[in-house]
């Protein structure tokens, strides 16, 4: 089987590489010549555990190739499916900008030679597959070509940092189709990924498009809900870690995705929540819950700063803050919509100094933050003479540092833990002033009797 994947961003590159891994011939296409040149040399545009090795292995076996020439690929590859995985950046009004998706669709239409399933893989609003079909049809008509094709919608649910695992062993695969022929092609393509018994769910195209948004919006809702509960726990003298365990053991609620923190970030949740609110309002419907989810998240990004401001009684000018973690979550260098950016910005506005360290996002941070902050060589160096440590991203290497060393390096033994990775009692016993999220200062007196 042969396919092409257009767009070598996060989703496109992982999709193409994982299809190659199961033996399908894949050509990944991107207009960015530098990116393609680098990929041919095995240099990836993103950091994702395990991906580099997988790209190299499949390229060597000749199953994975790279091209900048979409027209030629569509004309000559004899592909059974072409996946569109190009960016859909949010426009100013929050709606997903489809110009790249539709430009690719038109180019496919101008070059199609035989029956192909054109699959939208980028997260696109309900109704996009219809626009893609129309764009291809128009180009075919302009050429006077009578070629059969289908469109399909195949949303991607992978998480950054666990992308390969998620793609190879998905919880489910959702495919929206409008013909049996397209269903057969998609069935054949995905057969190798169904080994763990999870379903391949076929449905109509608009439902598949909606499924992606509904999934991300539901997950974002869980997070904002827990952040709201966490903030109330602090006011009421409770410990959200206990509450989380208490509610999470109810199977209807579940224990995943209910960790409070400093707000969700990344390329998906903020964008998709906004886009769904927008789609609804364009169609005369008010997504009240999601509007609240979004505003709680905005507020939550400032929660750590507010605690710092209170602790230092507003005297932040000239103080130095060590920041551990800059990416929006561990195992990625992605800083899009990262809470770290809001926290750092607010500290700098107050005249404070920031010295940060992140295990992989340092280059990305220099690109985004430039010289406005200092960068530590490692997590310990970032602590020297710091008035406080801010744990912003829960990288595994930050989980059990040598606190004796941490305390010695710092000017003040104060820790603001934005992800609740340290134990409040333990930290206080070690002589630190400790602030978590949703843990009242006088709560957390009991040692947990079961593991968190
Ligand atoms: C998400 C979806 O999980 C994935 O299915 C979809 O395809 C793309 O969007 P991703 O953005 O890579 O994936 O990261 P994820 O691990 O889901 O985390 C998103 C954000 O939520 C992070 O900022 C994370 O810190 C935050 N989060 C997650 C919490 O604050 N609490 C939680 O309990 C879980």
pLDDT at residue 93 is higher than 90: no
CA of 294 to the centre of ligand 1 (A): 14
Query: Which residue has the CA at smallest separation from atom 5 of ligand 1?
Result: 157
CA of 205 to the centre of ligand 1 (A): 25
Task: Find the mean pLDDT for residues 120-134.
Answer: 94
Query: Which residue has the CA at smallest separation from atom 27 of ligand 1?
Result: 264
* Catalytic member of 18, 28, 77, 268: 268
Atom of ligand 1 nearest to the CA of 259: 33
Q: What's the pLDDT score for residue 201? A: 98
* CA gap 2, 377 in Å, rounded: 45
Residue that is written with structure tokens 């803050």 in the block: 321
CB neighbour class for 137 (10 Å; exposed up to 12, middle 13-18, buried from 19): middle
Q: What's the pLDDT score for residue 443? A: 54
* CA gap 340, 375 in Å, rounded: 14
For the chain, percent of residues with pLDDT exceeding 70: 97
Look up residue 450 and give its DSSP letter. Answer: S
Q: What's the pLDDT score for residue 442? A: 65
CA of 264 to the centre of ligand 1 (A): 7
pLDDT at residue 347 is higher than 70: yes
Q: What's the pLDDT score for residue 386? A: 98
Q: What's the pLDDT score for residue 449? A: 42
Known binding residue 353? Answer is: no
Is residue 328 lining ligand 1, measured as CB closer than 6 Å? yes
pLDDT at residue 452 is higher than 50: no
* CA gap 49, 122 in Å, rounded: 21
pLDDT at residue 81 is higher than 70: yes
Structure tokens at 224: 């904002």
- Express each pLDDT in 296-333 by its tens digit: 999 999 999 999 999 999 999 999 999 999 999 999 99
Is residue 213 lining ligand 1, measured as CB closer than 6 Å? no
pLDDT at residue 258 is higher than 70: yes
Query: Which residue has the CA at smallest separation from atom 16 of ligand 1?
Result: 159
For β-strands 353-357 and 320-324, DSSP reports them as parallel
Task: Find the mean pLDDT for residues 51-59.
Answer: 97
Catalytic residue check, 268: yes
Task: Find the mean pLDDT for residues 64-86.
Answer: 97
Q: What's the pLDDT score for residue 341? A: 97
pLDDT band at 450 (very low <50, low <70, confident <90, very high): very low
Look up residue 96 and give its DSSP letter. Answer: B
Q: Which of 430, 437, 381, 434 lies closest to 410 in space, CA to CA? A: 381
Q: From residue 100, give the alpha-carbon distance in Å to each of 111, 117, 156, 403.
A: 17, 18, 18, 49
Known binding residue 212? Answer is: yes
Q: What's the pLDDT score for residue 448? A: 45
| Cβ contact 152:177 at 8 Å | yes
Known binding residue 157? Answer is: yes
Atom of ligand 1 nearest to the CA of 227: 30
pLDDT at residue 361 is higher than 70: yes
Is residue 290 lining ligand 1, measured as CB closer than 6 Å? no
CA of 159 to the centre of ligand 1 (A): 7
- Express each pLDDT in 189-239 by its tens digit: 999 999 878 899 999 999 999 999 999 999 999 999 999 999 999 999 999
**List of domains in the chain:** 2-203 (3.40.50.720), 237-435 (3.40.50.720)
Q: What's the pLDDT score for residue 344? A: 98
Task: Find the mean pLDDT for residues 59-75.
Answer: 97
pLDDT band at 92 (very low <50, low <70, confident <90, very high): confident
Look up residue 243 and give its DSSP letter. Answer: H
Inter-axis angle of helices 128-143 and 99-111, nearest 10: 30
Q: Count Cα neighbours of 302 within 13 Å in the Cβ-side half-sphere.
A: 9
Task: Find the mean pLDDT for residues 414-441.
Answer: 96
Q: Quote ipTM for the complex.
A: 0.93
Known binding residue 35? Answer is: yes
* CA gap 11, 449 in Å, rounded: 41
Average pLDDT value for the chain: 95
CA of 319 to the centre of ligand 1 (A): 32
Task: Find the mean pLDDT for residues 263-271.
Answer: 94
Structure tokens at 43: 């240099």
The pTM of the full predicted model, rounded to 2 decimals, is 0.91
Known binding residue 261? Answer is: yes
Identify which of 47, 121, 329 to mutate to test ligand 1's pocket (most ligand atoms within 8 A of the CB): 329
Q: From residue 218, give the alpha-carbon distance in Å to each of 212, 257, 289, 382.
A: 10, 10, 10, 37
Is residue 158 lining ligand 1, measured as CB closer than 6 Å? yes
Is residue 438 lining ligand 1, measured as CB closer than 6 Å? no
Task: Find the mean pLDDT for residues 56-60.
Answer: 97
Known binding residue 258? Answer is: yes
pLDDT at residue 444 is higher than 90: no
Is residue 268 lining ligand 1, measured as CB closer than 6 Å? yes
Taking phi first (over 0 means left), then psi (-120 to 50 degrees means alpha), and beta for anything else, what does residue 82 get? beta
Structure tokens at 90: 């949010």
Atom of ligand 1 nearest to the CA of 272: 9
Task: Find the mean pLDDT for residues 361-372.
Answer: 96
């Amino acid at each position: 089987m042969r396919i092409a994947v257009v767009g070598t961003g996060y989703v496109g590159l992982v999709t193409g590489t994982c299809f190659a891994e199961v033996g399908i011939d894949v050509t990944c296409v991107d207009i960015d010549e530098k990116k393609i040149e680098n990929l041919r040399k095995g240099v990836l545009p993103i950091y994702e555990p395990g991906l580099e090795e997988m790209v190299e292995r499949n390229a060597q076996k000749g199953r994975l190739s790279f091209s900048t020439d979409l027209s030629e690929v569509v004309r000559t590859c004899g592909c059974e499916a072409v996946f569109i995985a190009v960016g859909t950046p949010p426009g100013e009004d929050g709606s997903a900008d489809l110009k790249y998706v539709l430009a690719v669709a038109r180019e496919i239409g101008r070059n199609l030679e035989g029956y192909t399933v054109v699959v939208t893989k980028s997260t696109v609003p309900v109704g996009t597959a219809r626009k893609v079909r129309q764009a291809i049809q128009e180009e075919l008509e302009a050429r006077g070509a009578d070629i059969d094709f289908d469109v399909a919608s195949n949303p991607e649910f992978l998480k950054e940092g666990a992308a390969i695992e998620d793609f190879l062993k998905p919880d489910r695969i959702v495919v929206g189709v409008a013909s049996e022929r397209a269903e057969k092609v998609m069935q054949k393509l995905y057969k190798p990924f169904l080994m763990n018994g999870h379903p391949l769910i076929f449905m109509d195209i608009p439902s598949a498009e909606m499924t992606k948004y509904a999934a991300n919006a539901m997950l974002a809702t869980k997070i904002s809900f827990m952040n709201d509960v966490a903030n109330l726990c602090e006011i009421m003298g409770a410990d959200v870690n206990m509450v989380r365990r208490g509610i999470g053991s109810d199977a209807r609620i579940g224990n995943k995705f209910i960790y409070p923190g400093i707000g969700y970030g990344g390329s998906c949740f903020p964008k998709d929540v906004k886009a769904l609110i927008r789609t609804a309002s364009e169609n005369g419907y008010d997504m009240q819950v999601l509007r609240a989810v979004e505003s709680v998240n905005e507020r939550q990004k400032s929660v750590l700063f507010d605690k710092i401001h209170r602790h230092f009684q507003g005297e932040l000018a000239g103080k130095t803050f060590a920041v551990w973690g800059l990416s929006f979550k561990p195992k990625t260098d992605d800083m899009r919509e990262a809470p770290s950016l809001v926290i750092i910005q607010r500290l700098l506005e107050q005249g404070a100094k920031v010295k940060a360290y992140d295990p992989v996002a340092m280059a990305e941070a220099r690109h985004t933050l430039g010289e406005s902050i200092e960068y530590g060589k490692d997590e310990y160096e970032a602590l020297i003479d710091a008035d406080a440590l801010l744990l912003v991203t829960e990288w595994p290497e930050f989980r059990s540092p040598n606190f004796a060393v941490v305390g010695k390096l710092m000017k003040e033994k104060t820790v603001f833990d934005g992800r609740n990775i340290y134990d409040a009692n333990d930290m206080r016993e070690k002589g630190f002033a400790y602030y978590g999220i949703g843990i009242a200062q006088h709560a957390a007196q009991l040692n947990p009797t079961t593991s968190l």
